Amino acid sequence: MEDEFIKNILDNSEKNKLSNLSSKEIKDEIENVVRNFYKPYLGFEKNKQNLKDTLEKLDNYVYVKNIDDIPNSYYIRYLDNKYFYDLTLRQGGFLININDNKLKLFNGKIYIKVDSNKVVLFMKLKKKDKMAILLNDLNK
């Protein structure tokens, strides 16, 4: 019965690109992406602490390589270098739609348009994603 339950969760997550990733792979990828993003700007004192803060805030997130992999209603945060002297993880919002590589997000108050070509995107994991990743960790 438990095996059936686990199989069902894994089968349902097959459509999801996360189903093949371990929690360590996700964490390592986020760390590499964020460190590479901050690297050119670490000469600015604030960015050293901002780097640490960003890595902490991205717990339970996954790096988005392809915007087509983001399902609607997932919460998105992003990094951009507009204020390169004080880089911070942007608040973001829930994905409403994607049009011409521009994400339309809603944060509960306002709509935000984000050009995916100019930012680094992160998607918050939902419970079902976390469960699939946990089961995947157990299977490795």
* Confidence bin at 130 (pLDDT 50/70/90): confident
pTM recorded for the entire structure: 0.84
pLDDT tens digits along 76-91: 999 999 999 999 999 9
Report in angstroms the alpha-carbon separations of 114 from 20, 76, 91, 104.
28, 10, 12, 7
Which has more confidence, 136 or 110?
A: 110
Question: How many helices, marked H, and strands, marked E, lie in the chain?
Answer: 4, 6
- Map out the domains of the chain as residue ranges: 2-139
pLDDT tens digits along 10-54: 555 444 566 578 888 899 999 999 999 999 999 999 999 999 999
Q: List residues bridging with 94 in a β-sheet.
A: 75, 106
